């Protein structure tokens, strides 16, 4: 098969609780599995998947339940279930020696997958703009965000004017020179996500604590984070995540925001390709 040609993926992958997950599967070679952020489907990985599939990797991405073209069951948005969904993808495609690449919320799903399902199918992981170890403020997490702020977001923005919130948040999410077309593309993808999925995933994400799980990871790990990430500040997420994972490598993109998969797409694709090929 030509590496540039997408493999047909018309049959949904079924999860243990019967939810159908849409997936795309491009190219031939070492498998790289992409897990998208909160509110975004597999389409958001298009530019990284094109670059890596052209370079000789098999690139797989799927839509999280309630996102994109996957089923919207109105349930199962906790991290255990989401990790089981990733396991269903890995097992249905019989992937071995895979590199797992997650962005934002997707990084936490990868961590829970590894601690819940083990490493037998995974060679390495890349965590981009990670939301781990813990976003909420606590006595032992002083840099965290007051949980009341997250609750106010859900009540006043997510449940009343999500499009308006996207417009406001797009400014720090990208850089001033990010083309309007890319901004609109992200906005349109997010607006097609189930409201129930948005609400439940945000609640799970902002309440999660992965500090005990990260030291248990044993696969080579690359943490990529934007120096100017406002959504998930580097000192709250990227730095402590890399510090907690044994042997993890932290790569900080100077001047980069949270949406570096758009703003720094060529550098990111090159770094992911080198990491995926690393023996």
Q: Which of 23, 258, 264, 269 is catalytic?
A: 258
For range 139-166, the mean pLDDT: 97
Distance of CA 192 to the CA centre of its chain: 17
Distance of CA 37 to the CA centre of its chain: 4
Burial of residue 252 (CB within 10 Å: 0-12, 13-18, 19+) is middle
Verify whether residue 104 is a known catalytic residue: yes
Verify whether residue 258 is a known catalytic residue: yes
Percent of the chain with pLDDT over 70: 96
Q: Which of 43, 229, 264, 269 is catalytic?
A: 229
Average pLDDT, the chain: 96
- pLDDT digit string, tens, across residues 198-248: 999 999 999 999 999 999 999 999 999 999 999 999 999 999 999 999 999
- The answer to whether residue 4 scores a pLDDT higher than 60 is no
Verify whether residue 23 is a known catalytic residue: no
Q: Using CA atoms, how far apart are residues 19 and 43, in angstroms rounded to an integer?
A: 19
In degrees rounded to 5, what are phi and psi of residue 122?
-120, 130
pLDDT score recorded for residue 76: 98
In degrees rounded to 5, what are phi and psi of residue 271?
-65, -40
- pLDDT digit string, tens, across residues 40-84: 999 999 999 999 999 999 999 999 999 999 999 999 999 999 999
Burial of residue 112 (CB within 10 Å: 0-12, 13-18, 19+) is buried
For range 249-275, the mean pLDDT: 98
**What is the value of pTM for the model shown?**
0.96
What letter does residue 143 receive in the DSSP assignment?
T
- The answer to whether residue 92 scores a pLDDT higher than 60 is yes
Q: Using CA atoms, how far apart are residues 279 and 276, in angstroms rounded to an integer?
A: 8
Q: 108 near 210, Cβ under 8 Å?
A: yes
Q: Which of 104, 194, 225, 264 is catalytic?
A: 104
Q: Which fold has domain 6-277?
A: Rossmann fold (3.40.50)
pLDDT score recorded for residue 278: 81
Percent of the chain with pLDDT over 90: 95
In degrees rounded to 5, what are phi and psi of residue 95?
-80, 140
pLDDT score recorded for residue 6: 46
Q: Where are the domains of the chain?
A: 6-277
């Amino acid at each position: 098969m030509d590496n540039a040609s997408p493999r047909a993926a018309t049959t949904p992958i079924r999860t243990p609780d019967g939810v159908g997950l849409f997936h795309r599967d491009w190219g031939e070679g070492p498998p790289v599995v992409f897990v998208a952020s909160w509110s975004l489907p597999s389409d958001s990985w298009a530019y990284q998947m094109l670059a890596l599939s052209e370079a000789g990797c098999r690139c797989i991405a799927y839509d999280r339940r309630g996102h994109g073209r996957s089923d919207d069951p109105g349930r199962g948005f906790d991290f255990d279930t989401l990790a089981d969904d990733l396991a269903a993808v890995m097992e249905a495609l019989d992937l071995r020696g895979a590199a797992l690449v997650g962005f934002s919320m997707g990084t936490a799903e990868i961590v829970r997958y590894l601690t819940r399902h083990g490493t037998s199918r995974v060679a390495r992981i890349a965590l981009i703009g990670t939301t781990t170890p813990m976003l909420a403020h606590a006595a032992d997490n002083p840099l965290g965000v007051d949980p009341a702020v997250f609750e106010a977001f859900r009540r006043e923005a997510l449940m009343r004017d999500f499009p308006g919130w996207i417009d406001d948040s797009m400014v720090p999410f990208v850089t001033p020179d990010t083309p309007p077309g890319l901004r609109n593309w992200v906005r349109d993808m997010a607006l097609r996500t189930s409201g129930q999925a948005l609400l439940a995933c945000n609640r799970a994400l902002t309440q999660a604590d992965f500090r005990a799980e990260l030291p248990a990871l044993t696969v080579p790990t690359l943490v990529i984070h934007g120096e100017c990430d406002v959504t998930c500040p580097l000192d709250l997420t990227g730095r402590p995540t890399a510090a907690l994972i044994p042997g993890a490598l932290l790569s900080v993109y100077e001047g980069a925001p949270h949406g570096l998969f758009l703003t720094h797409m060529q550098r990111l694709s090159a770094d992911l390709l080198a990491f995926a090929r690393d023996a």
